[in-house]
Structure 1
Amino acid sequence: METEIELKFFVSPEFSSQLLHKIAEAKILQQSSRKLGNVYFDTPDQILRQHDIGLRVRRFDDVFVQTLKTAGRVVAGLHQRPEYNAETTSTEPNLALHPADAWPEGFDVEQVQQQLSPLFSTDFERQQWLIAMPDGSQVELAFDQGDVSANGKTTPICEVELELKSGQTDALFTLARELCADGGMRLGNLSKAARGYRLAADYQGDAVKPLEFVPVTEDESVEAVFVKTLEHALGHWHYHEQIFSERQEPAALEQIFQALGLIRQTLVIFGGMIPRRASALLRQELQWLEGELDWLDEAASIDALLAEKGHALKKLNARKELMKQLELRQSELPDTQEILELLESARYCGLLLDLSRWILSRGWQPFLDDKSRSRLAGGIKAFSDSTLSRSWQELVDVFPAERQLNRIDYLDQQPRLVRNLTSGLSFAALYDAEKRRVFRMPWLDLLRGIEDLRQLEPIHALVAGQEDEEDRRQLEKWLTRKEESLIHAMDQTRQMGIELLPYWP
């Protein structure tokens, strides 16, 4: 059994010239090119897929190799999976070729063997180079071009894979950083097998989903929860990056933005133990990317106002002119092509690589003193209780029950409310689910109210530009009525939230 450790990237066919230029600067130990034919197998109910197992028979030249890949781990494109290889004599799979301990407990190998049938195939040409890295590690670089085929349908393959053959995992990131310096690469979390299963099932892609609670437990250390939270956010980010790349859904970008927020807030929450200088470069790049996406709120507001031919503006005399101005502003915001280019840019890819490497190598540890190491090794529950209490007090201070808040007050405090709710994602799993739900509900409602209030901001920006005095006054009254109604409901929600008892001790 071997553990395959590799980085995968999606590229365009034109990337080959850029790749060859980079390879010319490397120390090449071996080089080859071959055509590979692969058939993947499973049962009718996809029992292998259910156990996150991949089974294929690969043919190259006159050699057949059967490969079994079992459940592994993916962090920002770094795939780590146990792999079992055995030479065979045909494309017919034989599960007996793999050791008994390769299978999950209770797995009926004989029964599965009888039900196996071909599900899909991948056929591609692989150009391959074995590269000697300066630290003595050896990395295999493969450039694959071909197709995945299932049920008469095909989808193209154009990928770069970096596999660690010997040495340190850090060497993969070093080489990847060099390759992505000119852009054109996007970290991939979908293997060829995953894409084959999708094609065979005529699967149209994953759905956008909200950022969920981090699955932490009381027996974990503070550092373990820190790592788990970062990986949770990174997985959410990468999941939605794939959705946007496939279908260009704006909601997927919103989820990437939320994942960025969780990462940045996590660095703040644990900042008392992990010095800022340990993550200085990462925070700088995370802030850059948030800046690249900070137009999303405005875009969502304009979309809501223009929906159903401007239904929200139907009672305004200046409706047509407002829609025209909103459409003009909409056209000035980044378009789909610009975002796709961002996702393949050198800086974006470099950020994902650096963040993944920092998590995997525990890049903060050289910056720790003995006190911080001891605190990070401590149990999570006490740290969680104190963190949530501090965060709650900050919220009470800016949303006091006795104070009347206006539009500007609510909009100014939206980031703080978001940070507070985001902090809860890291620790909420440690507490009673019903108490947690009841406590968070009014604050989530308040956040939605602020978002509704923010949707009116593009109209505020257009009020002063109304040339007709009557239209301007009508627009101001319309805005006032809308805002007063929202703020009245938000005040009641805020009062309800303040009166609730926290769900932590």
Structure 2
Amino acid sequence: MTEIELKFLLDEERAKSLRRNLKALPLNETGVSSRTLRGIYYDTPDHALKQAGIALRVRREGRRWVQTVKAGGTITGGLMRTREVECAAPGGRLDLSLIPDAALQAEIGAVVDGAELGVVCETQMKRRASTLTLESGARVELAIDVGEILAGEVAAPFQEAELELKAGEIDALYDLTAKLFPEGGLHLSTLPKSARGYMLAETGKAQAEIAPRTARKVRLDPAMTSEIAARDVLRECFEQISANVDAVLDSTAAEGPHQLRVGLRRLRSAFGVFKPIVGHSELVRLSDEAKAIGAEVGALRDLDVVIEDLIDPAEEEHPSEPGFRALRAAIDSRRSGVRGDLRATLGGARVQAFQIDLARFIETRGWLAAEDFDQTARLAMPVRAHADRALAKRWKSVRRHARGIDHLTIDGRHELRKELKKLRYTIEFLGPLYPEKKVALFVKRLKMLQTVFGDLNDLAMAEHMLCQPDSPAARNPAAQRAVGWLLGSRAVRSEAAWSHAKELWRGLKRTGPFWG
């Protein structure tokens, strides 16, 4: 059978909140059962099963032992989907011949290939579980596990909540999540316990360090339907956003806000690219919410850029100028306040609701509209045909905004920069459908142009931030002297950069599209 779950990491505060919220919900709840579970995971010395995506476990549940095989696991939109096969394990002894699925038994036999199976890790959990029936009739098992993961002599404490769909639609898991964590702050668990056990055995830690996540290429194939391509691209956007929400909450590193803003922008670009395929009022609402959240993230990101990309290099060049130190201190103070406000937003109910609704939209095909009789044909359209149209549309918009580039105003340059960025994201999404060398040449020249426009935008942003009456250090003469020097030197460089930008644009036009 296929097991479908949402899992959440808990700490003491979240665990108490979860139990409190559960008691307050008008749900038809079975009695709470309490069991001690001991799971023992086996593999070959070279971890061949893990490499094949298979977890092999014997678990004691009360007085009985159960042998379980989990295979083909995927995680999308927070959902863990795993093929699970169970059988009795008399005396707690591992016996591959008891696996009831003949094909899976043969697959495991081929992977193991006669190698000796040994214990990799164990889990010892106290589980409290109950089955909840929602208004829709869906049944979901809520299990709260508290215990530890062990690998040899190393142990790591662990708390987790699991929502497993027993009957009904996937919507029920997202509905219940919103009800159980109404105050926000949920932390998706994106690794099964077996993977945490392997990690503990290999690294001494059962949880990977939270780190900023860059965008990853989506594997698209020309034979895909446009709907499947849209789903996979949106899934990648969701993963980048969710990972970087955690990164900003966990660290002060500038890369977290940067990658979160990129993720939100890529999501909005993906919505634009695939709107003809998965257009829906919910898509518009989610795009608007991503824009609003992105504006708050951008406030922190802009401060990071001014400090790390403008002030710090200038101070390094002129260490004897005290104004840079004063200016940096004033902006850093403002940055601390903005970061605190952003963390409150990201850890609150609003952003959590956005993440849940985005995942729901992607994983439940939230774009389906019964009254749209032409939708089926659009969803089934080969993605390559849609890609040609989407790229041509973006390119046409770029060319329109670049018209008269020699005489563009500051606002006009800014609009062209945004259109170039949208084109770049569209190519990142759809580029795998085209010859790699042609895409690479176009992207190389596009990146060079974007770099120049990015520098110009940073200067405009810094001018706005540093020249207002309420700007940081506005009343500090030394800091204001540093502002004047900084903006003056950057302005000289920007004029030279602008001349180069015009040359790069003409070069990009000569390269021409790789699509169509």
Is TM more than 0.5 here?
Answer: yes
Change (3 A) 1:44 1:420: same
In the TM superposition, what is the alpha-carbon distance from 1:3 to its structure 2 partner? Answer: 1.0
The structure-2 alpha-carbon separation of the partners of 1:471 and 1:295, relative to structure 1 and needing over 3 Å to count, comes to closer
On the 8 A contact 2:242/2:355 being kept in 1, the answer is no
Shift of 1:317: 6.7
Change (3 A) 1:37 1:137: same
TM-aligned CA distance change 1:175 to 1:452, over 3 Å? same
The one-letter code sitting in structure 2 at the alignment partner of 1:483 is S
Helix, strand or coil at the partner of 2:365: coil
Which among 311, 329, 334 is matched to residue 329 of structure 1? 334
How do 1:9-28 and structure 2 match up within 5 A? 9-24=8-23, 25=25, 26-28=27-29
| Superposed CA offset, 1:272-305 (max 9, x none) | 3544424243234323322331224313312233
1:88/1:317 Cα in 2 relative to 1: closer, same or farther (>3 Å)?
Answer: closer
Which of 343, 352, 356 lines up with 1:353 in the alignment?
356
Q: Distance in 1 between matches of 2:342 and 2:53?
A: 32
Matched residue SS, 1:57: strand
Deviation of the 1:381 alpha carbon: 1.8
Any conservation in 2 of the 1:76–1:189 contact (CA below 8 Å)? Answer: no
CA contact (8 A) 2:49 2:112 kept: no
1:450 & 1:104 partners in 2: Cα distance?
57
| 1:270 alignment partner in structure 2 | 274
Unpaired runs of 5+ residues, structure 2, are: 469-473
1:160-213 CA-partner distances (Å, limit 9, x unpaired): 110111222222222112112122422221222222222221175476553233
Question: In the TM superposition, what is the alpha-carbon distance from 1:373 to its structure 2 partner?
Answer: 2.8
- Describe the superposition over 1:314-365 as per-residue Cα deviations: whole angstroms up to 9, x where unpaired: 5867333333333333333214xx6555444222222222222222221211
Q: What are the within-5 Å matches in structure 2 for residues 42-441 of structure 1? A: 42-98=43-99, 99-102=101-104, 108=110, 111=113, 114-202=115-203, 205=209, 208=212, 210-241=214-245, 249-301=253-305, 302-307=307-312, 310-311=315-316, 314=319, 318-335=323-340, 341-366=344-369, 369-400=372-403, 403-405=406-408, 409-441=412-444
Instruction: State the one-letter code of the partner of 2:223.
Output: D
Between the aligned partners of 1:97 and 1:379, the Cα distance in structure 2 is 44
* TM-score normalised by the chain length of structure 1: 0.89
What is the CA-CA distance between 1:474 and the residue it aligns to?
4.2
The separation in 2 between residues aligned to 1:422 and 1:353, in whole angstroms, is 24
- 1:81-100, CA deviations, whole angstroms, 9 ceiling, x for partnerless residues? 10011221344432222133
TM-score by length of 2: 0.87
Whole-Å Cα distance in 1 between the matches of residues 454 and 40 of structure 2?
Answer: 50
CA distance 1:58–1:255, shift in 2 (3 Å): same
Decide which moves more: 149-158 or 187-196: 149-158
Residue identity opposite 1:333 in structure 2: V
Secondary structure at the aligned position of 1:70 is classed as: strand
Contact 2:463/2:487 (8 A) holds in 1: no
1:458 and 2:462 matched: yes
Single out whichever of 134-143 and 409-418 deviates more from structure 2. Answer: 409-418
On the 8 A contact 1:326/1:458 being kept in 2, the answer is: no
Q: Structure 1 unaligned runs (5+)?
A: none
Alignment partner, residue 501 of structure 1: 512
Distance 1:448-1:41 versus aligned 2 partners, 3 A rule: farther
Q: Give distance in 2, aligned partners of 1:195 and 1:471.
A: 50
Question: Residues 284, 398 of structure 1: CA spacing in aligned structure 2 closer, same or farther, 3 A cutoff?
Answer: closer
- 1:483 is matched with 494
* Distance in 2 (alpha carbons) for counterparts of 1:404 and 1:179: 56
Gap change, CA 1:32 and 1:362, over 3 Å in 2: same
CA distance in 2, matches of 1:205, 1:463: 39
Matched-pair identity in % = 25
Give the Cα–Cα distance (whole angstroms) in 2 for the partners of residues 470 and 259 of structure 1. Answer: 36
The code of the aligned residue for 1:211 comes to A
